[in-house]
Chains A and B, each alone.
Chain A
Amino acid sequence: MTSLLLQAIASGFLMGGVYGLMATGLTLIFGVMKVVNLAHGEMMMLGMAISYWLFTLAGIDPYLSIPVSIFLLFLLGFFIQRFLINPILHASEHMQILVTLGVSLILANSALLLWGPNIRSVTTSYSLETLWIGEIVLDLPRVVAFLFALFFTFLLYLLLKKTELGKAIRASADNPEAALLVGIEVNRIYPISFGIGAACVGASGSLIIPFYDLTPHVGPPFTMVAFTIIILGGMGSLSGALIGGLLVGVAESVGAILLSSSLKSVASTTLLVLVLLFKPRGLFGK
């Protein structure tokens, strides 16, 4: 039992790294323009799909297609913000919810229309490789996904802290009026930030495709998990997203072995309810 538990913690932790990257995208979008993106899970699905199709049609290794996912999702996010979100940025929260819900319907069902409801998966030469650490066995693709996710999170962190663009993004997030006054074109920063947020989740999708099945309706649970994480970590907090991601990854996989794996979603949904009720301002908020 203890080894089973350790096993669950370890694999949950690895998935948690990817969750962290995915949720970083969501929290960035929220932090910068206070928009809740209900299409986040569907963007994850797109990231998975891009790598899946490049692998299936052109034999490109999923890890090599990560830049393609990043690029395409950046564009998608950029244009969604530019044309759909920007006009209603100052309208009521309801409207943002409805627009992003509309986007999620369009994305998921376009996938359904284009390649049907079947479950699809990628089998690479390393799909079934494992690593032993003491008594614990880790799937190689999960380890790689975890490391890549940390790497991308770190890159994003550098981008935000060290570059001019990053400073402009942070300034727009802190205080859009003041940012405008010092000459930052907030209206150009917003689509870029949305694009970066979408790129994060696109990369996450590519990272999990070697071990996670793709269906057109794989998105909503991811959306739910992403919101659980950023609420837990504090809406808009980058470090909170990473820590929250690791916590939720572990909680979910431990919950799954306690509840039997068919009820994995029960664990994460219950977690969302508990977080909303007891920690709506995050673990570190008051």
Chain B
Amino acid sequence: MSSKETHKPAVQTTGHAWDGDLQEFNNPLPRWWLWAFYATVVFAVIYWVIYPAWPLGRDYTKGLFNTITYETSDGRQVETHWNTRARFLREMQAARAKQEQILQRLAGVPYQEIAADRELSAFAYSMAKVLFADNCAACHQSGGAGVAGLYPNLADDAWLWGGTYAEIEQTIRNGRRGFMPSFARALDEQQLDDVATFVLSLSGFEVDPEAARRGGAIFNGQAGGCYYCHTHEGTGMTSQGAANLTDAVWTVARVQATAGVEANKEAVKAVIRKGIQREMPAWAGRLDDTEIRILTFYVHQLGGGQ
């Protein structure tokens, strides 16, 4: 190995030896590294001056030449030292200012006008899709189809609480509680069977007419008192959120057109026996007025708005 002679460069060592002969070289740092290091030091000093940095007892240096101006809710201009919260406010206000015109129109004009205006409705629609995904889809699912029995379908044209713009807005703003009492104690098995038969007859199922007649008497009499919420005709009452039983749309009972009458009767009986308690949360504190309007427009569009 004569050609590869080990060079002993003329570098200093750190001056100590371990185990007799283990020494540590003290090489100079690579140039690029050293300059990069000095650059970070310079950067830090500039940063200290411009941004809030050094604690001073109960206070801290606020940074120089670097202020943020934002507007308070009563319209005053406030200038403050740089901080993430003021920057956030300014960012929100800048975004709002950019969309101001269109947002103001959305907040002010009647819903029919939003629907008629291509630009407005396209804007509302794109915003609503995001809002719906963040806030509503966990229950009503992404297309608004709902979960059978639990969360109503918003894309069909049956409405528990009404499908006008005003009613939908009211639903979203204040929330709703769907309530039907349990009839497990009030009605015996035979009565349950009869009233369920009657309910099925309302939407056109072929059932035993005699049982349906007996059920009708319970529905519209003292024993059941169903008419009190569902009306004598069974068409429901939007002021109570009581379902229309004469259409073929089922929001709670697992009734299927393809299933036999017996299976469907059991499904309806299960609902009457157990009662219903469902809650639609209120969004007034969580979403602002414009957001609620945009969602109202969107839900109305999803299906069968009135």
Q: Do A and B come from one complex?
A: no
